[in-house]
């Protein structure tokens, strides 16, 4: 039992060294889906972890990834991790957009933190609108500028 604890401590120390040197190079984001609802956005990230990090997370849990996942959206002020596992995570960003004259507007924001912007492109970035429509963007390093009507046209009566 003592040897297992020593191994886990060793892994924790090595991981801290590797992560401080490599930055966010142990999480490889494959794709991101942004679900819009009012002025909030929920982001679903699909990723792979570097092999050593996978072992660490298996041993100690995904709580270790929380800081890195939150820093991925470092340009937003109110980010909350909803869930995370070995392959994906969901994060809620409150106030990601703003309401103006019947539209919710979402400005483009660089991915990554203010001090360390994302270096690698995200292969696929999809935006899912409240009405169900999806737009997909490829090879991005920031969220996309998007907007939607507060009330969809389907609720408008066309009677004269």
Place 22 in a pLDDT band, splitting at 50, 70 and 90.
very low
pLDDT top residue among 84 and 156: 84
Q: In whole angstroms, what is the distance from residue 14 CA to residue 19 CA?
A: 8
Q: Answer yes or no: are the C-beta atoms of 97 and 49 closer than 8 Å.
A: no
Q: What residues form DSSP beta bridges with 147? A: 105
The per-residue pLDDT of the chain, averaged, comes to 85
131 contact partners, CB below 8 Å, separation of at least 6 = 148, 152, 154
């Amino acid at each position: 039992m003592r040897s297992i604890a020593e191994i886990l401590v060793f892994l924790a120390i090595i991981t801290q060294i590797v992560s401080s040197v490599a930055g966010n190079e142990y999480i490889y984001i494959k794709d991101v889906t942004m679900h819009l609802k009012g002025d909030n956005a929920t982001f679903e990230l699909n990723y792979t972890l570097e092999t050593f990090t996978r072992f660490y997370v298996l041993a100690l849990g995904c709580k270790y990834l929380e800081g890195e996942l939150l820093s991925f959206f470092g340009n937003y002020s109110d980010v909350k991790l909803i869930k995370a596992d070995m392959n994906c995570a969901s994060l809620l960003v409150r106030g990601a957009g703003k309401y103006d004259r019947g539209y919710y507007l979402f400005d483009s924001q660089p991915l990554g933190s203010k001090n360390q912007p994302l270096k690698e492109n995200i292969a696929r970035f999809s935006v899912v609108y409240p009405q169900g429509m999806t737009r997909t963007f490829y090879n991005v390093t920031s969220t996309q500028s998007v907007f939607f009507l507060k009330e969809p046209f389907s609720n408008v009566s066309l009677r004269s």
